Amino acid sequence: MGAPIIMLRESNAEVVLLGQLRHPHLVKLIGYCCEDEHRLLVYEFMARGSLEKHLYKRYTASLSWSTRLKIAIGAAKGLAFLHDAAKPIIYRDFKTSNILLDSDYLAKLSDFGLAKDGPDGDETHVSTRVMGTQGYAAPEYIMTGHLTTKSDVYSFGVVLLELLTGRKVVDKNRPTREQSLVEWARPYFLHDSPRRLDRAIDRNLDGQYSALAAQKAAAMAYRCLSVSPKSRPQMSAVLEALEPLLAMEDGVVEPFVYTAPQENK
């Protein structure tokens, strides 16, 4: 009987949160209804579904470099808004399946059932039961149950890695040393070497990306994934670092399009 109670709490929390907050990068709650133990939440329609689907479904066209950056920036804006609210909100379940995309690839955060209010006054953290998805949770949260906005920053770093590498956060089909994305990627992102980093970048991009922007994005992912929460940046700083990357085009080769000359009439 425990599961329905947990689901009820999560749906109630989501209704309260989305009923209070409005932001271009948070999914809109259109309405909800309840009957006995059944709960139904109705959201705005997000035409392109989840980021997870676009990264990992075999028959889905690969996302371009600029689209990946746009999605990362949009998701960062959503998290920064939650963290910078008058009473900070910790999302607690930031992952690719909870990032939804509209027809223009505008990213919006969804599923706020695990969201928690941030610490009050002089408190440094919120103590709570460890919940979330394997691979995305910050190490200090897993070990102690201590939750802060920096826990979300860690999860953002994981998603940024997924966007850069095209690899799942946990993939049991890979060799043992490559199953954890974070552990596999650290050596590539640790060194300031474009050639080394290039070996980790998603092959589906086919070289169509800015090498300098990729370096800067990788450096930011590495900072977000710091073992020490205090060493991780605030989401506002992450956003400030990522937004200028959209304008960087060094190394991007535009596809050649042949236009047949028109005959003179």
As annotated, the active-site residues are 93
The rounded distance, in Å, linking the Cα atoms of 73 and 70 is: 5
HSE-CB for 250 with a 13 A CA cutoff:
8
Q: Residue 106 in contact with residue 3, Cβ under 8 Å?
A: no
Q: What is the DSSP letter of 198?
A: H
Q: Residue 189 in contact with residue 206, Cβ under 8 Å?
A: no
Would you say the C-alpha torsion 12, 16, 22, 25 has a positive or negative sign? Answer: negative
Taking CA atoms, 212 is separated from 110, 187, 205, 240, 242, in Å, by: 31, 18, 15, 16, 12
The alpha carbon of 16 is separated from its chain's Cα centroid by a whole number of angstroms, namely 23
HSE-CB for 244 with a 13 A CA cutoff:
8
